[in-house]
Amino acid sequence: MMKGSQTDAVKEARRAELLWDVLLTILLILCFPCNPLVLAGVIEVNAVPALFVAGCVVWGFGMVLVMAPIVLFPRRGSVPRGRSFVYTTRLVDTGIYAIVRHPQYTGGIFAVFLTTVLWYPHWLFAVLGAWGSVLLYYSCRAEDRRLVAKFGDAYSNYMNRVPGMNLAAGIIRLIQPKRLK
């Protein structure tokens, strides 16, 4: 009986995770910088040139973060030859991963949700972007659980040292002088 209820709980967790993923995907599409709502004329916005330029910088920064695991995992994560970067077998905690645990998700917030608001200043994109950021945060929490299961105490210790998505806290933590014990 216990085994059946565990299986049901796992199925329910997977359904909830799938729902979050579907909602996040919809928000990512609706807030994509080459925005379908704007391009189709559904929403009209008055672009501000200075905000557009700022959005380009934010987009570039976000894309660097999005690409981090694609570049770093094969080099530092012992990815088996010929496999995708998601098959890393070693915990990577250097480079950008010494600042935040989830640069790809953080970059998604910058490259999609924040850039869209800067390029197309409209309340709808601010609201959708806020919801999308919350969903990405919860996706990070789920990812942390999967990575604790995969890497064990090493990842738990890493979680205690490095913030999940807070770039400012991660940078401050790195530049502060190390305290003597």
Looking up residue 124, the CATH number of its domain turns out to be 1.20.120.1630
Dihedral of alpha carbons 39, 43, 45, 50, sign: negative
pLDDT for residue 32 is more than 80? no
Q: Is residue 75 part of a domain?
A: yes
Dihedral of alpha carbons 98, 103, 104, 105, sign: positive
User: Confidence band (pLDDT; 50, 70, 90) for 181?
Assistant: very low
Predicted confidence (pLDDT) per residue in 69-126, tens digit: 888 888 888 888 888 888 888 999 999 999 999 999 999 999 988 999 999 999 998 9
pTM of the model as a whole: 0.78
Q: Is residue 13 part of a domain?
A: no
pLDDT for residue 3 is more than 70? no
43 backbone dihedrals φ, ψ, rounded to 5°: -120, 130
Q: Is residue 122 part of a domain?
A: yes
Q: Is residue 36 part of a domain?
A: no
Predicted confidence (pLDDT) per residue in 36-68, tens digit: 888 888 888 888 999 999 999 999 999 999 989
Neighbours of 137 (CB within 10 A): 15
Q: Is residue 14 part of a domain?
A: no
* 167: alpha, beta or left? (left if phi > 0; alpha if psi -120 to 50): alpha
How many domains would you assign to the chain?
Answer: 1
Q: Is residue 127 part of a domain?
A: yes
150-171: b or e for each residue (b if 16 or more CB lie within 10 Å)? ebeeebeebeeebbbbebeebe
DSSP states along the chain: -HHHHHHHHHHHHHHHHHHHHHHHHHHHHHT-SS-HHHHTTSS-----HHHHHHHHHHHHHHHHHHHHHHHHHHHHS-PPTTS-GGG--S---SGGGGT-S-HHHHHHIIIIIIHHHHHS--HHHHHHHHHHHHHHHHHHHHHHHHHHHHHTHHHHHHHHHS-SS-HHHHHHHHHSPPPP-
Q: Is residue 71 part of a domain?
A: yes
Q: Is residue 83 part of a domain?
A: yes
pLDDT of residue 1: 44
Distance CA 142, CA 138 (A): 6
pLDDT of residue 10: 60
Neighbours of 70 (CB within 10 A): 12
Task: Give residue 145's domain range.
Answer: 46-169
